Amino acid sequence: MPSNIPFIEFKHVDKKYEDRVIFNNLSFNINKGDFITLTGTSGGGKTTFLRMINGMVIPDKGEILINQEAINKQDILALRRNIGYAIQGSGLFPHMTIKQNMLYVPELSLDWNDAQKNARVLELLDIVSLDNTVLSRFPDELSGGQQQRVSIARALAANPDILLMDEPFGALDSETRTQLQDSIKSIQQRLGVTIVFITHDEIEARLLGTRSFELVDGHLTAKN
Ligand SMILES: Nc1ncnc2c1ncn2[C@@H]1O[C@H](COP(=O)(O)OP(=O)(O)OP(=O)(O)O)[C@@H](O)[C@H]1O
């Protein structure tokens, strides 16, 4: 369940690209356990908003805090480990097996032995409802829906508190999309992870979000 303690805080954030203003004095709070869905016109700045949370885009002014600490004061590897990121089209590394893809983030910074890695991979398969026959395969040997499940598993691998999802189901057929919507909803309820989810689909936004927002002219307007 969402709490009322601000977990991710945007404080007076400005961001522009060259002379194009995307955000001007944006302040916004996300609570722990929120499932935020974000819609809005193309090019409005949704991806920019998401990427400011994991430090991939740096604001020109203002600050972003996670757990009451400014992200530019936090260790970047620890920050990224704590923030899973899943994008449309899965973003899996094509030359790595599914198992290697799933373990990518933990391998960067966690000193797990083989038994710990194998145990985590099995937990992740269970979380995203895949069986272990996929592990030795490469991404192009899986269906689009399976690839997207692996992408979610990879984003969850290091047990992050936050999951950022940028139109993750945009390229899937409607049946697969419905299955993955059910999955992400139950994953969120089971793990209590805080999710920020971008979508173009209003129905998806309403279905998944505990709080839904539309980004218009750099402002986030609540829709429910
Ligand atoms: N690194 C960059 N340099 C210059 N302009 C950029 C950069 N990144 C994004 N933009 C521009 O900033 C605007 C906002 O981009 P952003 O990707 O955040 O929007 P979006 O709402 O996610 O769009 P979409 O729904 O089409 O994915 C767009 O006009 C985009 O072209």
Is residue 151 a part of any domain in this protein? yes
Per-residue pLDDT, 124:
93
Domain assignment of residue 162, yes or no: yes
Question: What is the Cα Rg of the chain in Å?
Answer: 17
Report the separation in Å between the CA atom of 138 and the middle of ligand 1, taken as the mean of its atom positions: 31
Q: How far is the CA of 160 from the centre of ligand 1 (A)?
A: 26
Distance 109 CA to ligand 1 centre (A): 30
Domain count, the chain: 1
Q: How far apart are CA 118 and CA 106, in angstroms?
A: 12
Say if 157 falls within a structural domain. yes
pLDDT tens column, 135-145: 999 999 999 99
218 touches ligand 1 (CB under 6 Å)? no
User: Does residue 176 form part of some domain?
Assistant: yes
Residue 164 lies in a domain: yes
Looking at residue 106, its pLDDT comes to 87
- Report pTM: 0.92
Q: Is position 1 within any domain?
A: no
- In this structure, is residue 152 part of a structural domain? yes
Residue 192 CB–ligand 1 contact under 6 Å: no
Partners of 194 in beta bridges? 162
CATH number at residue 127: 3.40.50.300
Given a cut of 70, the residues of the chain with pLDDT beneath it are: 1-3, 224
Ligand 1 center from residue 43 Cα (angstroms): 5
Distance of CA 39 to the CA centre of its chain: 15
Ligand 1 atom showing the smallest separation from residue 215 Cα? 21
Q: Which three-class secondary structure string do you get for the chain?
A: CCCCCEEEEEEEEEEEECCEEEEEEEEEEEECCCEEEEEECCCCCHHHHHHHHCCCCCCCEEEEEECCEEHHHCCHHHHHHCEEEEECCCCCCCCCCHHHHHCHHHHHHCCCCHHHHHHHHHHHHHHCCCCHHHCCCCHHHCCHHHHHHHHHHHHHCCCCCEEEEECCCCCCCHHHHHHHHHHHHHHHHHHCCEEEEECCCHHHHHHHCCEEEEEECCEEEECC
pLDDT digits (tens, 9 = 90+) for 151-168: 999 999 988 999 999 998
Kindly indicate whether the ipTM for this predicted assembly is greater than 0.90, answering yes or no. Answer: yes
Structural domain harbouring 192: 6-222
* Residue of 32, 157, 9 whose CA lies nearest to 82: 157
